[in-house]
Chain A
Amino acid sequence: MNGVSEESQISAAEDLVNEIGTMEGVSAFVDKRTSGTQVRPIVNLTVPPENWRKVAESMFSDHGIDYCSMITGIHWPESSDKQWEVIYHFLRTGVKNPPIVDGVVEPIITDSSQLQGSDVPLEIQISIPLQETRNPKVASIQDIWVGADWNEKETWDLVGIDFEGHQGMRRVLQPHETPKGYHPLQKQHKLRYHNFEEMYDDVQGFKRKPADSEKVK
């Protein structure tokens, strides 16, 4: 048996939930996710956008969450409780800087099942629901985790959620001359302009019209 054990991950996740969950406006719980035959715990946080920056700084400096994995933006135009949602995935690698002996970097801990306490690798998922309809925005964390830099660029480029305080925002995946306000992962842009029934009634597609034909240049 090698690798981090499930029990140590669960207890580390509960510790983190107890500490971060007391912050203002934050609701936290330990969620279970499956991976094949195994079950793994994940810390699930919901943070209001106005507190996000404070929570992020505390996560980085007090809880050793050192690795920003991914940022996802979701457009929920038909949802009742939110218009947009930003979802962050973090990892706690539990890695300290490698020791240096005689000018050579010694590889650190080869057995990650020995890690304990606040060094246990953890997964953290953070959801930030946004109520604002037109200009969704959330504080940038680019200066805390540089790895979030291009994630934020991509989220703005494709979903159109703005990150306040982000330096050097630009299009990364779409062409630089893409019209302002065009973000393809927003839900008004339909991928398929017809549903299954229409496909059979109008096989040639003469009657079909793109749903966003008036809205996009």
Chain B
Amino acid sequence: MAEMWISMGPQHPMTHGLWTLKVKVDGETVVDTEPDLGYIHRGVEKICEARNFTQITTYCDRLCYASANTWSHAYIYAAEDLLGVEVPERAEYIRLVAVELQRIASHLMWLGAYGPDIGNLTVMVWCLREREMMMDLLQELGGSRMHYNFPRVGGVKRDLPHGFAMRARHKLRLFLDRIQEYEALFDESTIFLIRSQGVGYAKPEEMINHGVSGPNLRAGGVNHDIRTSHPYSVYSELDWAPAVERSSIKGADCYDRYRIRVEEMRQSANLVLQALDKMPGGAETYHEPGDPKILAKAPSRAPEGTSGSHHFEDSRGESMFYLAGGGEGRGKMPYRVSIRSPIFITIPYASKCMIGYKVADIPAIMGSFDPCIGETDR
């Protein structure tokens, strides 16, 4: 049969955003693919060159609408490295709580969107119900529902509000029970198993060479997590180990990538519970905004020739910021901001993964990699 190119996107349920996947098909079989990005390129890196270090946080929040907190924290760590700030320990625990709650919310958003992708509509409503609990907790911290603007250079905006720890513990315990419901909903759904098992194999050694990271990599049995292999924050104080999936000899399939995210949600919930118990000063005490226990003083200028960088475990993989100091206003602004988006690197690999499968498998494979186009296009 003659081969031909078809274009999936920019408006297609498979894309989870705005991009085009050009697919070369031979009948129903995918022969070649070519991703085409850049539909919502906003030039964040350029905009940040004319903003001071506090203002940039706001832009980083908006890199990914499903996982705002992880992105602003990734930036803040790089900025603190550039400006040479030491963060109070209590602030680090509060950040850990914020980031891990965000990770749960992000994975729930993914799970909720992945269900309808492959014919399991109920799960969308269930996941968004639990996501709502996480959003409420995050709203208590940051003040808004989506873009929290929560971290500050040197600490956090606000301490945990009164009663937050109690509500968080209650909701997370409820959530840990409800994860079992999702597992039942997915693992006992024949349609889900048929469409996700044995589809979209990704080999671990190939993934490392292609720069794939995060849950997608750990689904292939590779224990590489920035939180333990390049320890930052207070993760090394807590009792945990990264979730690693046992995949088959061919590599990780869509089912493994679903399993790893469910395990990660469990783990994040446990991390938050531990952090609330271990927090210096206790989770019930409250400090006014600006108190040195939660916010260290930070210089506002970075002289020329300095640089700061930080690798960060985002919900989708390894995100990274590189900042060069000495920009406008004698260093008040960065000279160059460079952002590594995990999904920007993963999309070319994910597109190669689907070669040899049927056209109907494309949504299942692409969705399992958790694409987020906001951060991809920057």
Using CB atoms and an 8 Å cutoff, list the residues of chain A in contact with chain B: 1-4, 33-38, 40, 42, 66-70, 72, 74, 87, 89, 91, 93-95, 97-98, 100, 103-113, 121, 123, 125, 145-151, 154, 158, 171-175, 184-185, 189, 191-192, 195-196
Which residues on the B side are within 8 Å of A196 (C-beta)? 329
Contact A93 B229 (CB under 8 A): yes
B357 at the interface (CB under 8 A from A): no
Could you give, for residues 354-365 of chain B, a 1 whenever the CB lies within 8 Å of some chain A CB and a 0 otherwise? 000000000000
In the complex, besides A36-B233, A93-B224, 13 extra interface pairs with C-beta distance below 8 angstroms are: A2-B240, A4-B228, A33-B308, A35-B81, A35-B232, A35-B310, A69-B340, A70-B320, A89-B311, A89-B340, A95-B223, A108-B244, A146-B349
Which residues on the B side are within 8 Å of A149 (C-beta)? 348
Contact B229 A3 (CB under 8 A): yes
Contact A105 B336 (CB under 8 A): no
Contact A172 B228 (CB under 8 A): no
Contact B221 A33 (CB under 8 A): no
Question: Which B residues between 324 and 378 are near A, CB-CB below 8 angstroms?
Answer: 324, 328-329, 335-336, 338, 340, 344-345, 348-349, 377-378
Contact A112 B223 (CB under 8 A): yes
Known: A68-B211, A69-B211, A111-B241. A38 touches B38 (CB 8 A): no
Using CB atoms and an 8 Å cutoff, list the residues of chain B in contact with chain A: 37-38, 41, 43, 45-47, 49-50, 77, 80-81, 84-87, 89, 92, 95, 204-205, 208-213, 220-225, 227-237, 239-242, 244-249, 251, 308-311, 318, 320, 322, 324, 328-329, 335-336, 338, 340, 344-345, 348-349, 377-378
Residue from B37, B241, B329 in contact with A172 in the complex, judged by beta carbons closer than 8 Å: B37
Which residues on the B side are within 8 Å of A68 (C-beta)? 211
> Nearest-CB distance from A128 to chain B (Å)?
14
Residue from A40, A125, A171, A195 in contact with B230 in the complex, judged by beta carbons closer than 8 Å: A40
Which residues on the B side are within 8 Å of A97 (C-beta)? 204-205
> Nearest-CB distance from B204 to chain A (Å)?
6
Which residues on the A side are within 8 Å of B239 (C-beta)? 2
* Bound CA–CA A91/B309 (angstroms): 13
Contact A147 B338 (CB under 8 A): no
Contact B248 A69 (CB under 8 A): no
17 contacts between A and B (CB under 8 A): A3-B231, A33-B81, A35-B80, A35-B310, A36-B233, A37-B233, A70-B340, A72-B336, A98-B204, A103-B248, A104-B246, A105-B220, A107-B245, A108-B222, A110-B244, A147-B210, A191-B46
